Structure 1
Amino acid sequence: MDIGFLGMGTMGRPMARNLARAGYDVTVWNRTPGKAASVVDYGASEASDLSDVLHRAVVFSALADDRAFADSVLTPPSLQAAKPGSVQVNLGTVSPAMSTEAEAKLGERGIFYVAAPVFGRAEVAEAGELTVLAAGTEGAIDQVAPLLDVIGRRTWRVGEDPRQANVVKILGNYLIANAIQAIAEATTVAEKVGGSPELLMEIMNDSLFPGGVYAGYGKMIARRRYEPAGFRLPLGLKDVRLALSQAHDVDIGLPFGSVLEDLFLDALAHGQADQDWSAITEATRRRAGLVGE
């Protein structure tokens, strides 16, 4: 199968690499050239022109946000370059409204759209163990299902309306952000009273909260190791705002969401944009009078 792949960021590279490693004919493109070397090493080709990727039978995109996706896929030249009958698979976390727009614009060209955001950090993507949330027409998902099986351990079909996959993804990230803040608060109290944040999280992970979120982020937060960023802090703010927007659209308040937004803004104001989103912990530490190392 002839595959195009847009976006060679932290998540895009390992997913494209796994597809190439599985023997698929993969052509990759990135807005900033030079990030695809590790994918090309496994047999992929790097295109200098976006149109060389968009005319493939299946085109994956792993782009940062609504604007990056729209600028790459939904402009008139890009829509003209895309192949009628092909499938566009959006692996990124975009707004539900963007999925609705993409489905409509691509559909006018006879192109199928599948929203397929994923849960998992870069190391999970590298292992091909992502959780994939797929929404779109059944036939389109069936067509790309073998490819999704390469990048993920399980694909959840969440409906024929693509926006449903985005809603699940946004709410999942909202839950993770709340867990990060809960860990931040608990470890800050432990530190303030002279205890060990690392021991606290070791006990919690062994007893009350086993699993990837508390184990992974708990260790990062307890050790205050926010680099290299697996998921940059501005992207976390974007997803919290997407959750707030989705809730407000249906007249539901998210009190914790507003608090999270404030903490993300505090972290950004203190120059933490290039750190992992778990670095919002430092906002809580600052408010507790803890500074330094």
Structure 2
Amino acid sequence: MRRIGFLGLGNMGLPMARRLAQAGYEVLAWNRTPKEAPGLTLVPTPREAARTGLVLSMLADDAATEAVLPEILEGLPEGGLHIALSTLGVPYSRSLVARHREAGRRYLAAPVFGRPEAAAAGELRIVVAGDPGAVAEARPLLEALGREVYVVGEEPHQAHAVKLGGNFLIAAMLEALAEAYVLVEKNGVERRAFYEVVRGFFRSPVYENYGRILLERRFSPPGFRLRLGLKDVRLIHQAGDSTATPLPLAHLLLDRLLEGVARGLGEEDWTALLEVVEGHAGIQTP
């Protein structure tokens, strides 16, 4: 049984770590705040998890990753591999390559698409970029976590660029779906009837899943918090600014999500964006 390290047992990290344990790995797991984690071996520091020689991180953002990076680099043995599963900024991801190389360690980016229920079922979609040898080493773990693994390049930041591009599309879809629900309702059409049309016409698991969440107003418990959606849209802007890429739609999404946080929705699921759209249309939410 191979021992691996896992950092971050949040909404996504815990089911992912447990999925790896179910696949036959001995998982030495660390979380910033202690929590119950059946099936995992909890360790007191990121350094101890990294001593396994292969450590995966599923942390909230660049800052959370940076906070544990010194311990990752100290704990990993020479040639050890760090796999970042989180959504990170493109400039930060670029910097991690050099810092791992200088320390004699390896770094692979493998951010994931999917919500907690997909993580628990091993049905994530995973975007990977990095050295082909590291990709080959990581593939068995990634295939235990995801239904599909997409290799998009040999530079780790490329995977994070793809992840941000995908999250941009999801956020834009949420805004469009929310606006469409409000539009049809104010014209006398039940939202459920519209949802059935969307589900049949678009035939996309993303539209179907998010459309149902919006319809049922399942904003809590959150699968992905609205404040983290705001963080990702800011990272999308950062990636655009660093490459002189105009992103006018992303500016609208930034304003919408920022308003959601201002309204106290930051800890709700990011589908609570619907309440912001309804408020602008004069619809009182329950």
TM-score when normalising by structure 2: 0.96
- Aligned partner of 2:6: which letter? F
> In the alignment, is residue 106 of structure 1 matched against residue 92 of structure 2?
no
1:175 maps to which of 157, 169, 172:
169
Quote the Cα distance in structure 2 between the aligned partners of 1:144 and 1:213: 26
1:141-220 to structure 2, matched below 5 A, reads 141-206=135-200, 208-220=201-213
- Aligned partner of 2:28: which letter? T
TM-score when normalising by structure 1: 0.94
1:274 maps to which of 246, 263, 267:
267
Moved segments of 4+, more than 6 Å:
none
- Aligned partner of 1:69: which letter? T
Quote the Cα distance in structure 2 between the aligned partners of 1:50 and 1:204: 45
1:175, CA displacement in angstroms? 0.3
Residue 68 (structure 2) aligns with: 72
Quote the Cα distance in structure 1 between the aligned partners of 2:93 and 2:255: 27
Residue 284 (structure 1) aligns with: 277
Residue 59 (structure 1) aligns with: 55
Residue 120 (structure 2) aligns with: 126
* Structure 1 unaligned residues grouped into runs of 5+: none
Deviations 1:95-154 (A, max 9, x none): 111111111111112111000001111111111111111111111111111111100112
Query: Structure 1 residues 86 and 13, CA, compared in 2 at 3 Å: closer, same or farther?
Result: same
- Aligned partner of 2:153: which letter? G
Residue 33 (structure 1) aligns with: 34
1:46 maps to which of 42, 46, 57:
42
Residue 129 (structure 2) aligns with: 135
Indicate the RMSD between aligned Cα atoms, in angstroms.
1.2
Quote the Cα distance in structure 1 between the aligned partners of 2:171 and 2:148: 23
Q: Is the 8 A contact 2:129 2:153 kept in 1?
A: yes
> In the alignment, is residue 23 of structure 1 matched against residue 3 of structure 2?
no
- Aligned partner of 2:10: which letter? G
1:180, CA displacement in angstroms? 0.4
Residue 9 (structure 2) aligns with: 8
Deviations 1:166-209 (A, max 9, x none): 00000000000000000000001122233211210112101x21
Q: Secondary structure at the match of 1:237?
A: helix
Quote the Cα distance in structure 2 between the aligned partners of 1:153 and 1:219: 22
* Structure 2 unaligned residues grouped into runs of 5+: none
Quote the Cα distance in structure 2 between the aligned partners of 1:23 and 1:244: 40
Quote the Cα distance in structure 2 between the aligned partners of 1:89 and 1:78: 11
Q: Secondary structure at the match of 2:212?
A: helix
1:52, CA displacement in angstroms? 1.1
Q: Is the 8 A contact 1:92 1:116 kept in 2?
A: yes
Quote the Cα distance in structure 1 between the aligned partners of 2:59 and 2:241: 25
- Aligned partner of 1:61: which letter? S
- Aligned partner of 2:258: which letter? L
Q: Secondary structure at the match of 1:158?
A: strand
Q: Is the 8 A contact 1:179 1:213 kept in 2?
A: no
222-231 or 257-266, larger mean C-alpha shift: 222-231
- Aligned partner of 1:283: which letter? V
Q: Is the 8 A contact 1:125 1:151 kept in 2?
A: yes
